[in-house]
Amino acid sequence: MSAAPALAPTPRVHLVGNPNAGKTTLFNALAGTRARTGNYPGVTVERRAATWRIGERSKHSEIELVDLPGTYSLSARSPEEQIAVDALLRDRPSVVVVVLDATSLQRSLYLALQVRETGLPTVVALNMMDEARASGIAIDEAAIGGALGATVVPIVASRGEGIDALARAVSDAIDAEVAPAPKITHDAATEADLRAVEEVAARTLDVTGDAARAWASWALLSVGAGDELRDVPAALRAIAEERQTKAEQQGRDLDLALVAARYAFLDRLTSTSVREARPARTLTDRIDAILVHPVLGFVAFALVMYVVFETLFSWSDPAIGLIEDGVGWAQGLARGGMSEGPFRDLLVDGVLAGVGNVIVFVPQIGLLFLLISFLEDSGYLARVAFVIDRVMKAVGLHGKAFVPLLSGFACAVPAVMATRTIASHKDRLVTMLALPLMSCSARLPVYVLVTGTVFAGESRIAGIFSVGAVVLLSMYSLSVVATLAAAAVLRRTAVRGPRPTLVLELPPYRMPLVRNLLGTTWERVRAFLVDAGTIILALTIVLWALLSFPKSDEVAVAHEAQRIEARAELEGDALDERLAVIDASEAGQQLEHSAAGRLGKAIEPAIEPLGMDWRMGVGVIGAFAAREVFVSTLGIVFGIGDDADEESTSLREQLRDARRRDGSKLMTPLSGVALMVFFVLACQCMSTLAVVKRESGSWKWPILMFVYMTVLAYVVTLGVFQIGSALGWGTG
Amino acid sequence: MENVRNDSRKLTGFLAHLLKMVLNKIMSLTGSTRLGDLPVGSRAVVAEVQCDRGVRRRLLELGVLPGTSVEVMRRAPLGDPIELSLRGYRLSIRGDEAHGIVVRDVVAEDARVASPVGATSPE
């Protein structure tokens, strides 16, 4: 290292810790809730950083604080797990703060030891000291600090206790000479393996001493067949693999030897420095006696899931209504205050509608994340996974995939964001890619319109159920089957990986901090607005342009002539009525002339075998903004105005009377079912694509999702309509 | 009074030991005992972890090592996964993984309640 420059750079402090150790609480306590969030390049993991104003407590007034993803170990097999080791061994922060749960030191010290092995200055924050004391755990902090070569500071992050002492310890550690890494004793053969790899690590990564040693043990534990690690020097990989193979040939268990040596060091340390009272039946056990009880557990589970569902499905409705009214009001204001023309249309139907399309998701995302953060921080989310994992396992999913899938019944956008609670990158991707097949609430208006059009009769199945209800139920069942099947197939194809497992800590129940809940929720909402929102806004404007341009002068002139005629002949209500009809007719003909209209006609040969015609095609294109827009787009195409909803009798009548070019009826029970099946399976939602881009960190996954869902929808709908037609079902 | 208690403790301890030996004998006849086979409430010491390398490494790093004592706390309502208590924390793993963990020194639930160690528990 070169001599310190006159103006010292801002010290960087990295925060590492086990999940559930209170890392986020500590981060917020140190730096406030104003974290800057972004993604680590190319992975689905979020990077949180903030400026920690350490102030008068230190000569370093400001520190760059980085919150690393929660982990139990620095070893890695995927790029996501690799973030932690790269953040320490490649970024080399000034100090590492390791947050440990003081009530489970026997396990959590493992991470602290690994961090110290890197040779970086380390401060250990022993969190939840209040709980530890209450359960009779006595900890000799000095002994632990001495053995690890780190300052140990007892804290209670939730109450801000020990934060000043932690700040002092960090500040001191920045300037102090770093202690050497603890000496871990290995057997001779393992020691030889470590030496050999260490040498190559030192050469290829330009490191020395403890860092080289840490890279060596990291490589021996991490590198292996099927790993997806990045930027591991070829020579390092080669020597690690060579040593692993050799150990195997000699019948030595290298993984075990490396891990067991660490635990031997720690067990020796904790046997003298941590005294644990034999735990009585804890509060957590008493709660779990009910919450994971074979019978009561399901009742509790069902209740909690009901609340999740209702939150998304109905409790967020008033707020959504308010936003829609607000946007409508703003659109009215702009329409009234500006002169007619393309610029006004752009502002009203493009920009304002786009902003509306974005913020309309905020109530659902906000409420869902308040709820999920509460469940996660309280410890119950892990129990949700515990209770339902058996079911999820059957389709190759993780127990934690349940809440996102359930949320998918309301809306895929918050549901995709909810996959964040799934720790494994691949499990998370599979869930994210499959859940848009769940029948969301935006599909309901399409089902209602179609069943109201083609199954309006009073006929009942078995005398009880109306045909419409049975069809609706079938669509929901189809969506669940399709989601689970897609997950199972994706697991074996695009997101192939090691056999999915569940290795899940069940943390003690704890009362969540309101500050953390609000902080997490706001972070999610902001991430959505900034990253996904801009994409949704841009796509709304593109879609608006497709549906509006080019305009036909001929159509405009013809309708203007009709208007003049009407004004001359009629007055009062009769005139208004006539003018509305003319407006609607003009809108319909202009839409037919627009790029979307032409596109609809261009794809007609492709969608005809599905039972659709070009008007449906235009509706499908319009529905890309949001599926329910299918209904209003059809309203425009059929010339009855843009305010038609799924209950509109005139739209239903128009649809019932509509004919194809060959004169046959457009909407038959069969083509209706085909259309609904298409809407169950097709990825008709740009907001979902935008949020998958945001959450997966690349365009690769939303594109894959769009392609597989579209192909699936096309093939299945084709099968339904063609087989149905051949058998003569519901064609009349 | 104290003597009687001590004697009864010794006796139950001896009986527990006997039971354990018989149990282990039975287990050794049927092959190695797996963590996944233990009834809820049993305690045992991990002897070997035989899962796929990735899962195995995770389990080892979470402290599921040969020599670590674990207790089977409960099964999920649908029978899988199971909840373990080890090293002062609770870990949930699926039956598939639990069957990859060979255990020894099994103390069954009944024996534990009667044993001196279990006697300190208020349950």
Q: What residues 15-44 of chain B have any CB closer than 8 A to a CB of chain A?
A: none
- Give the distance from residue A106's alpha carbon to the nearest chain B alpha carbon, in angstroms: 5
Buried residues in B32-57 as b, exposed as e (16+ CB within 10 A): ebbbbbbeebbbbebbebebeebbbb
Interchain CB contact of B3 with A (< 8 Å): no
Compute the residue count for chain A: 732
**Chain A residues lying within 8 Å of B120, measured CB to CB:** 278
Of A111, A123, A126, nearest in space to A156 by CA: A126
Interface with A, mutate which of B48, B71, B72, B90 (most A CBs under 10 A): B90
- Cβ neighbours of B79 in A, within 8 Å: 390
| H helices present in A658-729, as ranges | 669-681, 686-696, 700-727
Q: Tell me, what DSSP letter sits at residue A415? A: H
Q: What is the pLDDT, as a whole number, of residue A5?
A: 46
Q: What is the pLDDT of residue A457?
A: 66
Cβ separation of B83 and A104 shorter than 8 Å? no
Tokens describing residue A323: 């936003």
Domain B2-119 CATH (choose: 2.30.30.90, 3.40.718.10, 1.10.600.10, 2.60.40.10): 2.30.30.90
- Decide: helix, strand or coil at residue A79: helix
Would you call B4 an interface residue with chain A, using a CB distance cutoff of 8 Å?
no
With tokens 């190559």, the residue in question is: A200
Domains of chain B by residue range: 2-119
B123 touches chain A (CB under 8 A): yes
Task: Please judge whether B77 and A389 are an interchain contact, meaning their C-beta atoms are less than 8 angstroms apart.
Answer: no
| Nearest one of A477, A463, A535 to A692, comparing CA atoms | A535
- Neighbouring CB atoms inside 10 A of A271's CB total 10
In whole numbers, what is the pLDDT of chain A averaged over residues?
A: 90
B60 touching A, CB under 8 A? yes
Q: Is residue B119 scored above 80 in pLDDT?
A: no
What is the C-alpha to C-alpha distance for residues A543 and A547, in angstroms, rounded to an integer?
Answer: 6
Best residue in B58, B92, B99 to probe A by mutation, most A CBs within 10 Å? B92
Residue B5, pLDDT score: 66
- For residue A587, give every residue at least 6 positions away whose Cβ sits within 8 Å of its Cβ, in sequence order, or none: A636, A639, A641, A642
Q: Which of B94, B101, B113 to mutate to test the interface with A (most CBs of A within 10 A)?
A: B94
Report the residue count for chain B: 123
Across the interface, do A390 and B90 touch by the CB < 8 Å criterion?
A: no
Residues of A in contact with B122 (CB under 8 A): 280-281
Chain-chain contact of B79 with A390 (C-beta, under 8 angstroms): yes
Q: Which residues of A449-484 are buried (b: 16+ CB within 10 A; e: fewer)?
A: bbbbbbbeeeeeeeeeebbbebbbeebbebbeebbb
Percent of chain B as helix, strand, coil, to the nearest 5 = 45, 25, 30
Closest residue in B to A101 (Cα) is B89
Residue percentage of chain A with pLDDT more than 90: 62
Residue A247 structure tokens: 């150990």
Structural contact between residues A374 and A272, judged by C-beta atoms closer than 8 angstroms: no
pLDDT-flagged residues of chain A (< 50): 1-6
**What pLDDT does residue A632 have?**
87
Q: How confident is the model at residue B28 (pLDDT cuts 50, 70, 90)?
A: low
Q: Is the pLDDT of residue B21 over 70?
A: no
Q: Angle of helix A425-434 relative to helix A467-492, nearest 10 degrees?
A: 150
Chain A: residue nearest B48 by CA? A256
Number of alpha carbons in the 13 Å side-chain half-sphere of residue A532: 31
Distance from CA of A389 to the nearest CA of B (A): 7
Nearest to B88 among A104, A221, A294 (CB): A104
Contact A502/B78, CB-based, under 8 Å? no
Please name each of the domains of chain A with its CATH number.
8-279 (3.40.50.300), 443-491+594-732 (no CATH)
A627 contacts A713 by C-beta, under 8 angstroms: no
For residue A181, the distance in angstroms to the closest alpha carbon of chain B comes to 19
Give one word for A55, left, alpha or beta, with left for phi > 0 and alpha for psi -120 to 50. left
Interchain CB contact of B92 with A (< 8 Å): yes
Question: Which chain B residues are Cβ-neighbours of A385 within 8 angstroms?
Answer: 92
Compare all CA atoms of chain B with the CA of A74 and give the residue at the minimum distance. B61
Query: Are B57 and A104 an interchain contact pair (Cβ–Cβ within 8 Å)?
Result: no
Interface test with B, best of A105, A503, A509 (most B CBs within 10 A): A503
The neighbour count for residue A538, using CB atoms within 10 Å, is 14
Residue B118 CB: number of other CB atoms within 10 A? Answer: 18
Model pLDDT, residue A732:
61
Q: Which pLDDT value is given to residue B32?
A: 82
ipTM: 0.87
Kindly determine whether residue A107 and residue B63, on different chains, have CB atoms separated by under 8 Å.
yes
